[in-house]
Amino acid sequence: MGIAQRVNPHILDLKPYQPGKPIEELERELGIKNAVKLASNENPLGPSKKAIEAVREALSGVNRYPDGASYALRTRLANKHDVDPAQLVFGCGADEILELLAKVFLAPGDEVVYGWPSFAMYPIVITGMGATGVPVALNERLEHDLDAMSAAITDRTKLVFVCNPNNPTGTSVGAAAFDRFVAGLPADVILAIDEAYFEFVRRSDFPDSLAWVRRRPGTVVIRTFSKIFGLAGMRIGFCIADPEVSDYLQRARHPFNVNRLAEIAGLAALDDLEHEKRTRELNAAGVEYLTRELAAMGFETWPTDANFLLVETGAAAYDALLRQGVIVRPIASRLASMPIRLEVSE
């Protein structure tokens, strides 16, 4: 029997996540320096200086395992969000929270409803557990079609992902539509609201997802330190859920899934309000600049509530920009795989 015959059948179906091209790889290939990476929605200002300082000080302690309970960070975030510390679960990036949700709740035969195109990890964690993804096409404005998502829910639906703001479109759903959608969800469906870009949101009617965590058992809000806090390389994210869901997620995680430096960096970053504010302002100015200038050049963009912008170009733009040392993320293949096809110029 070959190896492939011994692999879990649903793992055979997995296609690896395609990360944005690393800066070092492009610089090596082109023999250039100062390449610019826009493909992974990182913080161009870098990490907070307070986080760097805290990590430097903590380096000599890495012979010790981390505090597996993340006591300091847990207490700090629980205060910040006015939740019980037991409601928080930390992960090696928000990615791990997605994986934990899949591990805890999904089995073959279960269905998971999510908008598409959206974050590429959803189909990976779903397929990895042998469950069935039910992608629901975004509407013509490339926003979540919450009515179509409601209609896609069946007796087999175990979990729903709502990515708000949505990666890779940057579009978001407002409170009225979101609240209507959640109010109509069957009580036994787990709702995971992925708010990786929460801190960049500019619309005033953004949903109060934490209010749903308080009100609706089985609701999980996912956040990360990778984006506004500039700690993508540290790998730390978390979720806030009701204590029962959190308890099951805690059971499923590795005891030291968040490393000591990540915890320390996260804690320090939370205190650097100036860095957070500067990042938010820089992003808002960048969104306005790019939207204006791309429009002047004849390119269509979509309104974004995140720290990236979706631009309609031809496929040639990706390679042309790479040759200039600028790494962007082509998403035409994800758009083309929408159940209802949009026009995609490849």
Ligand X SMILES: Cc1ncc(COP(=O)(O)O)c(C=O)c1O
* Residues near ligand X, by CB under 6 A: 41, 93-95, 119, 163, 167, 194, 196, 224, 226, 232, 237
Least separation in angstroms between residue 144's CB and ligand X is 12
Least separation in angstroms between residue 224's CB and ligand X is 3
Nearer to ligand X, 149 or 232 (CB): 232
Residue nearest to ligand X (CB): 93
Least separation in angstroms between residue 60's CB and ligand X is 27
Copy the structure tokens of residue 195: 């708010």
Nearer to ligand X, 218 or 237 (CB): 237
Least separation in angstroms between residue 118's CB and ligand X is 7
Nearer to ligand X, 9 or 233 (CB): 233
Complete DSSP assignment for 98-131: HHHHHHHH--TT-EEEEEES--THHHHHHHHTT-
Nearer to ligand X, 77 or 94 (CB): 94
Copy the structure tokens of residue 54: 């805290």
Task: Name residue 226's amino acid.
Answer: S
CB 20 within 8 A of CB 37: yes
Could you give the CA distance from residue 346 to residue 343 in angstroms, rounded to a whole number?
A: 9
Nearer to ligand X, 194 or 242 (CB): 194
Could you give the CA distance from residue 51 to residue 260 in angstroms, rounded to a whole number?
A: 13
Write the DSSP symbol of residue 312.
E
Least separation in angstroms between residue 125's CB and ligand X is 11
- List Cα–Cα distances, 192 to 94, 100, 209, 235, 281, in angstroms: 12, 12, 10, 20, 28
Nearer to ligand X, 48 or 224 (CB): 224
- List Cα–Cα distances, 154 to 102, 109, 157, 188, in angstroms: 18, 12, 5, 11
Least separation in angstroms between residue 33's CB and ligand X is 26
Could you give the CA distance from residue 337 to residue 316 in angstroms, rounded to a whole number?
A: 19
